[in-house]
Amino acid sequence: MSELHVRWRSQVIAVGSYLPEKILTNAALAATVETTDEWIVERTGIRQRHIAADGEMTSDLATEAAKQALSHAGIPAEAIDMIVVATATPDETFPSVATKVQHKLGMTRGFAFDVQAVCSGFVYALAVADNFIKAGQVTNVLVIGAETFSRLLDWTDRGTCVLFGDGAGAVVLRAEKAQNSKTDRGILATRLHSDGRHHDLLYVDGGPSSTRTVGHLRMKGREVFRHAVTNLTAVVGDTLADSGFMPADIDWIVPHQANRRILEATATKLGMNVDRVIVTVDRHANTSAASVPLALNVAVNDGRIKPGDLLMFEAMGGGFTWGAALVRW
């Protein structure tokens, strides 16, 4: 059965985001590790990244993004039934960031949990929330992507430390009766994939059950790049096929922001103009699970994304995990 035939549709009624105050430019990084602004810009498109302050935790970033999204939605925190936080950088091993956000928002009802799919986390969390809504179990949901990747980086490894930043983005989903038409607003299709064989290409070399430490991010960048373009192109194509749309129907791709060259190569393989891709990697770098809602927030606020536009969210990350979501704004 086509994903378009459902009783409830998850409408995305608002978006919000938060970026830590401190900005770290490529030039400032080049003073501490052997790299240059030119190398980073040419290979990745990144010019700067935001870095959380001492004591500022993932749950703080997530809560600020959630407050902004709730304010844009015009609903109080008590109206939320479920919070899903996508993160690979929780404040603590447990409890979840989501329950901390729930408390910081002053909520005592509903339920909250984290989803761990690294850079694909927001797409995973969105799909999980969408399925709760389709099942008729919840009405209003906060889906948040929040990360403090600066805390996972080996700041002496120039191959990885230049690529990442901190931030958070959030959306509010609301269950609306589906019209089961291609013009329905909200989440029209989602697709998730993973393949654990590629663990060693992108992972963190620590954890409570292995080393009892937090560890550092390790990556074979070139191989990740190759898999990213192949997997993202395939998952976008499959998500379109699931819902009966064509690449030409997409108004905006809102991708995970890993590397400008990955974004452009994926769009080109899909036969899409790169002007249709929302790019924030220059300002935010790779914020993992936060990057899709951060990019969405930028393009909604600057007026590029308008009500009725067809959006494709796509992401790939450690695991490997990857996925996409087709959304009518």
CB of 119 to ligand ACO, least distance (A): 4
| Residue ranges with strand state E in 31-139 | 48-51, 82-86, 111-115
Q: Does residue 216 carry a catalytic annotation?
A: no
For residue 98, the tally of other CB atoms under 10 A from its CB is 27
Give min distance, CB of 169 to ligand ACO, in A. Answer: 15
> 286 catalytic, yes or no?
yes
230 binds ligand ACO (CB under 6 A): no
Extract the tokens encoding 216: 């550092």
Q: Is 119 in the site for ligand ACO (CB under 6 A)?
A: yes
Residue ranges of E strands in the chain:
8-18, 22-25, 48-51, 82-86, 111-115, 140-148, 166-177, 186-194, 202-204, 217-219, 252-255, 310-317, 321-328
258 binding ligand ACO? (CB under 6 A): yes
By beta-carbon proximity to ligand ACO, the closer residue of 39 and 113 is 39
Stretch that binds ligand ACO, among 53-61, 131-139, 157-165, 171-179 (CB under 6 A): 157-165
Among this protein's residues, is 193 annotated catalytic?
no
CA 182/CA 232 separation, integer angstroms: 23
218-230 burial by CB neighbour count: b if 16+ within 10 A, else e? bbebeebbebbbe
Residues of this chain, 164-223, that bind ligand ACO according to CB under 6 A? 202, 219, 221-222
State the Cα–Cα distance between residues 298 and 17, nearest whole angstrom.
9
Task: Return the range that interacts with ligand ACO (CB under 6 A); candidates 72-80, 91-99, 251-259, 264-272.
Answer: 251-259
Q: Which residues between 11 and 70 bind ligand ACO (CB under 6 A)?
A: 35, 39-40, 43-44
- The residue nearest ligand ACO at its CB is 221
Kindly calculate the radius of gyration of the chain based on its CA atoms and give it in whole angstroms.
Answer: 18
Determine how many CB atoms are found less than 10 A away from the CB of residue 159: 14
Q: Is the peptide bond before 320 cis (omega within 30 degrees of 0)?
A: yes
Catalytic pick from 119, 140, 198, 297?
Answer: 119
User: Quick check: 329 and 309 in contact, CB under 8 A?
Assistant: yes
Residues 87-116 that bind ligand ACO (CB under 6 A): none
Candidate list 72, 198, 216, 256, residue with the active-site label:
256
For residue 209, the SS3 value is coil
Q: Which is nearer to ligand ACO, 102 or 286 (CB)?
A: 286
**Closer Cβ to ligand ACO, 218 or 256, answer by number:** 256
Q: Which of residues 123-152 bind ligand ACO (CB under 6 A)?
A: none
Q: Specify burial of residue 18 (Cβ count, 10 A radius: 0-12, 13-18, 19+).
A: buried
Q: Judged by CB under 6 A, how many residues of this single chain contact ligand ACO?
A: 23
Give the residue numbers marked as catalytic: 119, 256, 286
Contact residues for ligand ACO (CB under 6 A)?
35, 39-40, 43-44, 119, 158-159, 162-163, 202, 219, 221-222, 224-225, 228, 256, 258-259, 286, 316-317
